[in-house]
Structure 1
């Protein structure tokens, strides 16, 4: 990148900071989720609109929600009714409370007003998040007496917490049901609510709760609040993490079947479990093949309740672990298959919570065209660029350029007139297919002049909806051999497009490895990098795009002379956009301790109106990271821009200070992956 040395014009420091962070403001696993409109504006179709459903719309509940009872044969929600997409509270409430069946696709973040509002859902409804973008913030749903056949699925419901841990005055739940039946709660992320995450109360029955993330809360999941013994409930494959009580607490349930759940309490955190699964009153509970890690009192029962345990695993638990009496055989009510308890942590952590494949409205797409590239002549083309050139201009469907293993020494450009292109390496690993060249900013062009930073890219992507998978993009410019040449910036991959998905790739260079731009300053440019490696040493992730690096490895390299010094990010973000988010990622490399900054603020062209942003969260940082990890650039103070961390770990992580801003939990809730990606859910194609 071209760094400016111009003196910055004075800008007034923003107010309302916590440890230097504006209030407006898990190598690792897991996903994070957040808002959508706060970044990209109301141009994302704010009104309800018709949508075409995909295979997920035919999914039906398992467990007790599938049992024929009370005049309802299974739970299928709004199937058969109209499908609508909503992005406002008014539309969500309009369709959720309607008397007719609806499949309601939530395709953005909806904030409840007032805080704690619970929409009164009517029967025969499916409320489903569109991929990972469906968020309900500050409230939830209420299913009253007699409401039935309801599916709540693939949503993130969060943040009605009012600052008091055991809050008796704010009974704000994510999902509460009083006398409802045939309800399926599936693949949601429920967290940080004022009261319970799920309350199944007052004779509610035929409920299945499956594949949810339930976390960071005081009261997780309460069942009962009645003298009657009628509730039938199935709870399976849920990740209950960092919760104190009711995990769940089951009172006077006729049949409670819990299996393959993962209950995890991390040591040394602010939340400590008081108990795990609790069978009380006249509950009959069957608990099978679940995994308890670090929980206090993992399984407890009253003297009046029965609890049968089979095949559970307890790791690092303490306190009460009880069973006794006879219960029931779940297979007399429905069929199910148990996973091995030993496999539960990995399986549940990877599978629980919102899925990108659920709730996405699709139409029947044209089959992708595949073009093959092989150096040995066994493909249609011998170079990648030749295959790109063969893509028709303004193509409307996916074109996959399938590249045989080998090293392709060439530059590649995907022009803006050729969207929907995928570069797919076909080797056994991403190291087997390599596109490499060695231009730098100072390299002379054949027609005169030099390439400049942007022109040095080995691969340049200017077309929207681009994907790259299972390959390496490299710039191997030799700085040591070219010390007398000006302009050592050498880009491996440059993007200036929207909806760019880089999946399982290696992007490697030295200075300015990965340039993430937009087609123009007023254009949106979103990039999602997943399961990948980014390697470099100076400003090697830079530009004005809104980009996420998720579940990846950032590898730091020494300079050409063997010294260790550098900057990972150099964002040049517009004030009304998101910059760079590094999440669930490992930062490592064979460099000296305390030698690298997480980033510095690039005001491209000396533009004081820019507001560069980098957030690094839930990531593992090696000791290479400086204890003061942010740096000024070009005469602009980084503290006037947007730089922060959140819950990083490793020897390079640090505590909050004026030189090391840390997001609060509330701020972090607005800086998650969906905040960056908005209405786009990256999916492989």
Structure 2
């Protein structure tokens, strides 16, 4: 059984003195550069100075340590200066076993209406503990052209306990990991993205998703127009398993993988797995219109969604909520 500790978000550290004090007050545009050529040397300093509408441009370089965006910092943008996500790397190596889920996350984003583009977010801890690259805990978040790197629990979409749900949209990005590396209870759309399962050198090379969608919520995790790939052995990676977070009977995970290319690493039998004593059949797992060696025509182990139902399970539907939000491209 995997034990997860979704710890409370720590307060943002005290603000350091900026390199150019004249640009620190309610700046609409902030530049971060590790070499000292910007307004701040660290992204965290820039977040502390940001207000709603601030665009934080991050120059090429490697930025160590957690970036925490608290709920009070809604409406900010963090973007890589070059447009090439490998040029700007935000990295940490803290495991969940010592810091909890929030404390381990290299980027802890609790703010609504935020956008992060053109960066890499990595947790290099490796195997032996859950270790998050991104904890997405705010509503209406957009991630474009990002690389999310980790192993177990790379990317968490989490709206807290109960039926409260956050929404996130990931577009033209890259996500890698091995165990439950896309997980949570949010309404999460992953669109036109490469999802790479790392090779653990085992007959069980892990699980891509672990949804804990509350039973009151129709939509959970949608993977669409994407590519699922791996160098792992044939039929050794599961599409996901049913995470009843905290043992909650109300966590009836929902995952749909549609219009995507599935590599031969995906299991034919056992593509959806039980977890912590809960059958995968208690959750809402399905596929629609996929291609590739890992796709299937539909079996008892690989439920297919009907065309009529799929028409009501689009990216726009997952994200619309009650306010009609539509970031889909």
Give the TM-score taking structure 2 as reference length.
0.88
Counterpart Cα distance in 1 of 2:247 and 2:165: 21
Match of 1:512 in 2: 153
1:680 maps to 2:325? yes
Match of 1:58 in 2: none
Counterpart Cα distance in 2 of 1:428 and 1:421: 18
Match of 1:23 in 2: none
Match of 1:97 in 2: none
Instruction: Classify the secondary structure of the residue corresponding to 1:452.
Output: helix
Map 1:599-614 onto structure 2 (within 5 A). 599-614=240-255
Instruction: Classify the secondary structure of the residue corresponding to 2:48.
Output: helix
Match of 2:18 in 1: none
1:548 maps to 2:203? no
| 1:370 shift after superposition | 1.1
Greater relative CO, 1 or 2 (CA 8 Å, sep 6+): 1
Counterpart Cα distance in 2 of 1:549 and 1:683: 10
Counterpart Cα distance in 2 of 1:562 and 1:600: 18
Counterpart Cα distance in 2 of 1:565 and 1:636: 20
Match of 2:267 among 616, 619, 626: 626
| 1:675 shift after superposition | 1.4
Map 1:214-613 onto structure 2 (within 5 A). 369-391=28-50, 395=51, 397-442=52-97, 450-479=98-127, 488-559=129-200, 565-577=205-217, 578-613=219-254
The ranges of structure 1 where at least 4 consecutive aligned residues each deviate by more than 4 angstroms after the TM superposition are 1-4, 561-564
Counterpart Cα distance in 1 of 2:90 and 2:40: 15
The total of aligned residue pairs comes to 303
Counterpart Cα distance in 1 of 2:45 and 2:203: 40
Alignment check: 8 A CA contact 1:368 1:398 kept: no
| 1:562 shift after superposition | 7.2
Instruction: Classify the secondary structure of the residue corresponding to 1:431.
Output: helix
| 1:590 shift after superposition | 1.3
Alignment check: 8 A CA contact 2:263 2:292 kept: yes
Instruction: Classify the secondary structure of the residue corresponding to 2:85.
Output: coil
Counterpart Cα distance in 2 of 1:615 and 1:586: 14
| 1:389 shift after superposition | 1.1
Deviations 1:629-651 (A, max 9, x none): 10011111111210000010000
Q: 1:521 to 1:371 in 2, by over 3 A?
A: farther
Map 1:658-677 onto structure 2 (within 5 A). 658-677=300-319
Q: 1:424 to 1:627 in 2, by over 3 A?
A: same
| 1:563 shift after superposition | 7.0
Instruction: Classify the secondary structure of the residue corresponding to 1:451.
Output: helix
Q: 1:539 to 1:670 in 2, by over 3 A?
A: same
Q: Which structure 2 segments of 5+ residues have no match?
A: 5-25
Counterpart Cα distance in 1 of 2:2 and 2:106: 18
Instruction: Classify the secondary structure of the residue corresponding to 1:666.
Output: helix
Alignment check: 8 A CA contact 2:126 2:150 kept: no
Deviations 1:21-54 (A, max 9, x none): xxxxxxxxxxxxxxxxxxxxxxxxxxxxxxxxxx
Which structure: larger Rg? Answer: 1
Match of 1:91 in 2: none
Counterpart Cα distance in 2 of 1:564 and 1:409: 32
Q: Which structure 1 segments of 5+ residues have no match?
A: 5-366, 443-449
Instruction: Classify the secondary structure of the residue corresponding to 2:119.
Output: strand
| 1:524 shift after superposition | 2.6
